Amino acid sequence: MDFTKMHGLGNDFLVVDGPMDLEPQQVATLCHRRLGVGADGILVVSPVDESSVRMRYYNADGGIAEMCGNGIRCVARYAVDRGLVDGRSFSIHTDAGTFPVTLMGDNRVKTYLARSASGSTMELSGLDLQAVDMGNPHVV
């Protein structure tokens, strides 16, 4: 498997050309930090048309996630570098929806994530936690 190793704000990914279906054990082996390449996940990038690509995100344990904000940034750079899209502004389709992206002149990536949907609150180990959904669930 050919891949590109990329990182975005502390998350690191293996980025591969798609379409490709990966088995959970295959993903877990590749992402293992001591026995594999090591990564927070694998991003599979498939061209859709000249102005969009599709991103499928596999967590390091092999499970599929709806999207990853830092992953979107890496996929944007990857799509432009590989010539998968025309121009520097395009769309990335994910299981959580479609996100517009623009590569800025200073190599930053601009995108618009959905407004967070707040869920329930809880207390754990003395911390007040809030469920937040940004296209995939988080607890902050």
Query: Domain residues of the chain, as ranges?
Result: 4-113
Model confidence, pTM: 0.85
- Identify the pLDDT of residue 121: 79
Q: Residues of 96-126 as b/e, b for ≥16 C-beta within 10 angstroms?
A: beebebebeeeeebeeeeeeeeeeeeeeeee
Distance of alpha carbon 72 from alpha carbon 37, whole angstroms: 21
- Identify the pLDDT of residue 72: 96
Domain 4-113 architecture: Roll (3.10)
Min mean pLDDT across 67-71, 118-122, 135-139 is at: 135-139
Taking only the tens place, the pLDDT of each residue in 86-108 is 999 999 999 999 999 999 988 88
